[in-house]
Amino acid sequence: MDHGPEEIALAVNRLRSGGLVAFPTETVYGLAADAFDPRAVARVFSAKGRPAHNPLIVHVSGPSMARRVVQNWPEQADRLAASFWPGPLSIVLPAADDLPRIVTSGGPTVAVRCPDHPLTLALIEAYGSPLVGPSANRSGRVSPTTPQHVRASFAGDEVFVLDGGPSSVGIESTVLDLSRDPPIILRPGVITRAEISSVLGVDVAAGPAAGDNPEIPVRSPGMLDQHYAPRARAQLVTASGVAALPPGTVVIGFDTSGEGMAVVMPRDARGYAAALYRALRDADAACPPGGRIAVVVPETGGQDREVWEAVMDRLRRACADRE
């Protein structure tokens, strides 16, 4: 994972020729292309199998580069950037007229963030221009938190992978729509509504994903978008439900009984988030053909309640009914 300037130069060359580079971030690994090169961005969509209606987040080295992709960089955005960048907060604002609309899925707004990883900040600086960076996995599947995860999804030469070690946060950024009044959280993450509200001095609204708290286990076909999904079918179970699972079920849970627990998770919200996608991938690998994964619902209270909400958002989608 020790990448010198040569690796960055190779990655820059790849981007200049319209190619794809996987970069490490603190959230998950991203699949980068030049945000102002529509053909390169189209390659990102096709490599991922991503639907054209799912817009990409643009990655920048800081607020001055962010100004290039938006119409206007408001004072509120400056305050958020000063508090949370580099870091896992994406800010949605009206898009600059010259930003290719393939990036925004044709919409009038763009999401922008500055990732907190030295290698990727160096890459963006060296490239000198904003990069799109959706998660470096096939659309709908489990996000990658290591370079090995990225390589498992893409053929050898298709993507140049910058190895920056495991992602420290482990789940995707909080997405905040600052084009609305009041601003609204579109996707929960480890930067919380409470933190954002306090920096802005206004009550930020919770999006549909952040606020709901459905009964467990989730059983509402069509209600939840399936996403972050392992290959094997996955379901949420309570700790007391583990004993009743059919034999051969691969369980992601906590080390209480010590019995039948294939993947043991940390009990704190941030530790759980950092371990989540690796756990889903490991469980998938351990699952026999036709087997199932069961995820024991964590205890989600306490001071990191909002981080748990972000974790539960991912778990519900990973375990959503398929059809």
Residue 57 as a binder of ligand AMP (CB under 6 A): the answer is yes
Question: Considering CB distances under 5 to 8 angstroms, the limit depending on partner class, which of Mg ion, ligand AMP, none binds residue 104?
Answer: ligand AMP
The nearer residue to ligand AMP, 180 or 305, going by C-beta atoms, is 180
Stretch of 109-117, 147-155, 209-217, 295-303 contacting ligand AMP, by CB under 6 A: 109-117
Cis peptide before 166 (omega within 30 of 0): no
Beta pairing, strands 109-113 & 184-187: unpaired
Residue 135 as a binder of Mg ion (CB under 5 A): the answer is yes
Question: Considering CB distances under 5 to 8 angstroms, the limit depending on partner class, which of Mg ion, ligand AMP, none binds residue 169?
Answer: none
Exactly one of 172, 284, 306, 309 binds ligand AMP (CB under 6 A); which one? 172
Q: Residue 128 Cβ, how far from Mg ion at the closest point, in Å?
A: 26
Residue 176 as a binder of ligand AMP (CB under 6 A): the answer is no
Residue 307 as a binder of ligand AMP (CB under 6 A): the answer is no
The vertex-20 CA angle with 34 and 116, nearest 5°, equals 70
The answer to whether the beta carbons of residues 268 and 304 sit under 8 Å apart is: yes
The vertex-301 CA angle with 243 and 316, nearest 5°, equals 60
Q: Residue 105 Cβ, how far from ligand AMP at the closest point, in Å?
A: 7
Token pair in block for residue 136: 């470096």
Residue 55 as a binder of ligand AMP (CB under 6 A): the answer is yes
Taking the CA atoms of residue 192, residue 119, residue 140 and residue 186 in that order, the dihedral angle to the nearest 10 degrees is 30
Exactly one of 186, 263, 279, 287 binds ligand AMP (CB under 6 A); which one? 186
Amino acid occupying residue 148: Q
Residue 249 as a binder of Mg ion (CB under 5 A): the answer is no
Residue 92 as a binder of ligand AMP (CB under 6 A): the answer is yes
Instruction: Sketch the per residue contact string, 14 through 53, with ligand AMP: x for CB under 6 A, - otherwise.
Output: ----------------------------------------
The answer to whether the beta carbons of residues 151 and 91 sit under 8 Å apart is: no
Token pair in block for residue 251: 């369980």
Compute how many other C-beta atoms are within 10 angstroms of the C-beta atom of residue 306.
22
The nearer residue to ligand AMP, 147 or 253, going by C-beta atoms, is 147
Cα–Cα distance measured from residue 42 to residue 31, given in angstroms and rounded to the nearest whole number: 12
Q: Residue 111 Cβ, how far from ligand AMP at the closest point, in Å?
A: 3
- Provide DSSP, 153-208: HS-TTTEEEP---S-SS-SPPEEEETTSSS-EEEE--SS-HHHHHHHHTS-PEE-H
Residues that bind ligand AMP (CB under 6 A): 54-57, 92, 104, 107, 109-111, 134-135, 172, 175, 186-187
Residues that bind Mg ion (CB under 5 A): 135
